[in-house]
Amino acid sequence: MHDQGSTLKRPINPMPEFIRKALNERALMRAYLSRPPYQQNDYLGWIARAKLEATKLKRLNQMLDELESGRLYMKMAWKPKMRGGSGYVV
């Protein structure tokens, strides 16, 4: 899901199938892909690092809710940068 030519300095986290499924079920894949690469990567790593399944689910739901609102990133206010009126180009 990440642009392999990305300028991210951190290791790129792969997207687990359960996250892909949740994004598709809630029709949020486009919202996820419209986020900058660092946010996509941070969300995946943050969810993957959870030791308990309950924590993974809680983090997954937070990400989904934030993508749905379009105004939050890790519980912080976030406003997309507009490029040609369509948001981030991924």
Handedness of CA 47, 48, 54, 57 (dihedral sign): positive
User: DSSP alpha helices (H): ranges in 1-90?
Assistant: 17-25, 29-33, 37-48, 53-69
Quick one: angle between helices 17-25 and 53-69, nearest 10?
40
Report phi then psi at 76, rounded to 5: -110, 150
In terms of pLDDT, which residue wins out, 79 or 73?
Answer: 73
Residue 89 lies in a domain: no
pLDDT at 90 over 50: no
Residue 63 lies in a domain: yes
Q: Which domain holds residue 68?
A: 17-77
Most confident of the ranges 1-15, 20-34, 66-80 = 20-34
pLDDT at 58 over 90: yes
pLDDT at 2 over 60: no
Residue 28 lies in a domain: yes
Domain count, the chain: 1
Q: Give the DSSP H or E segment for 72.
A: strand 72-73
pLDDT at 43 over 60: yes
Residue 90 lies in a domain: no
pLDDT at 69 over 50: yes
Residue 57 lies in a domain: yes
